[in-house]
Structure 1
């Protein structure tokens, strides 16, 4: 049986939002058309993917499994399309992703010097998409910060770097040479507590009555720094990211008792392109130097 990628895209759109109407709008198709396509997919797979009533749409166990498998399949298909399109245009391109604060210029320059006819591009990534851009082919290799979902990836460690607390310039802890995570127990963390489990273990606001104040969803370091400068809370960042975005209304202080951030290279484990291995060796040597 051949699975129709278009039907899979429709399924993922519904499964991620659990709402047929909104999914149809996002896909720019009529809701009855979307419903028919989902029913056709269920008939092809001979399973029920959704349970629907007047109040809610839920995934069945089969639907949950299909969602887990469909995402990487669709990403691989998109990566294939991108590579074939580049080949058809006759463009010889290698693209490197990098997280904020990381300097990739020496390795990129070295690859260009070895391959004068190669166009080497760079793409800035975020915590949200640093693995996604590898899976869908937007980059050939990425400088990533752990943790990431390693499924489908080869990951090569590059270096560790300390993490720092980013505070408003007038904060009571500003100017300290070093603090412990317990010093931040009464602070509001402007990021997912799972990213700093050591803070989560001591945080006062997670132990008091009532729900925790929700943290806004940030997609860039600049957004986090704006909220820190405004006095809305604090964040924990790798040292290089904090130093790269130096500004007068925030300061950073090393935190002694949390583990460092790990920087790695990552690429699609199914690809055997010699350039990937060559760039990984160049990047490792540049980092060591």
Structure 2
């Protein structure tokens, strides 16, 4: 396998130094699926490997934050970095353009506030009321959390603070650990950036964060389109025995087992017919019925009335 020049994709990849391990190459025999940090696609990837690796190998592409749409758009020698991506629509609203992309919602998850383990709000054991965050400094654009932006508007206007420069959520998490503010993120992102000196609490009043599967609207060959729909079916919970989509490995095994059993039954039936024919022939011979015995053997019987006796 020949790898492409991955410098074109470094800003998009979560771990560009492991690109060779990822094994990405412009190979038509691969299905490349990208996912942003925090998304956990393991169950879908495992199902693909179990069912459809016989048709096309799946390559997993860990993407940097908010770079899912870019992974679909940016190409090298006509090949995109990813054919499909798992991302959060609120972070990448371009994916909602129905003229450019297909998108299906896969699941939703609660949002949490990330805070130091010694923060006063840790007195709340499970969840923090949204009102308790109105006077907290959040290390993010208020518009990314509209409900918090609304209740904190008056306080922020009276106490303006400039957001520190951050390249990505990891930088913001570092600032939370330093005690410079708090951060509201989806639960899986908080778990992904877990540290011993940080914890999180649910914020029940906030809208849940969605995770979607997105792919480009464009003409594909029937085979390529079927592969795309196979992965969509896995994400939607289609079972291995479904009559939709390509034949899975399990389906092929079951089909082979059925064909083997059918061949076995045919052999048994043929043997039974042969045994019945042989038994009738033996019975005819033992009972002295010459005509029947000769008929069983496929030979002509003596003329009627001759009885096989000699003339006097």
Q: Which TM-score tier does this pair reach, normalised by the shorter chain?
A: 0.5 to 0.7
| Alpha-carbon separation, structure 1, partners of 2:123 and 2:32 | 40
Q: How does 1:192-203 map to 2 (within 5 A)?
A: 192-203=141-152
Structure 1, unmatched stretches of 5+, are 1-84
Out of 14, 36, 43, which is 1:99 matched to? 36
In the alignment, does 2:118 pair up with 1:170?
A: yes
- Select the structure of larger CA radius of gyration: 2
Out of 124, 129, 135, which is 1:186 matched to? 135
CA contact (8 A) 1:94 1:140 kept: yes
Question: Which position in structure 2 is the counterpart of 1:49?
Answer: none
Q: How does 1:236-255 map to 2 (within 5 A)?
A: 236-255=184-203
Change (3 A) 1:139 1:175: farther
Question: Which position in structure 1 is the counterpart of 2:57?
Answer: 119
Q: After superposition, what is the alpha-carbon deviation per residue over 1:62-120, rounded to whole angstroms, capped at 9, x for unaligned?
A: xxxxxxxxxxxxxxxxxxxxxxx825xxx511111112222212212222331236332
Question: Which position in structure 1 is the counterpart of 2:26?
Answer: 86
1:175 positional shift: 4.3
Relative to the length of structure 1, the TM-score reads 0.63
Structure 2, unmatched stretches of 5+, are 1-24, 75-79, 239-312
Relative to the length of structure 2, the TM-score reads 0.58
Change (3 A) 1:271 1:102: farther
Question: Which position in structure 2 is the counterpart of 1:134?
Answer: 72
| Alpha-carbon separation, structure 1, partners of 2:72 and 2:123 | 39
Question: Which position in structure 1 is the counterpart of 2:204?
Answer: 256
CA contact (8 A) 2:106 2:236 kept: yes
| Runs of 4+ that moved beyond 3 A | none
Residue aligned with 1:258, SS: coil
Out of 208, 211, 227, which is 2:158 matched to? 208
Question: Which position in structure 2 is the counterpart of 1:285?
Answer: 237
Residue aligned with 2:128, SS: coil
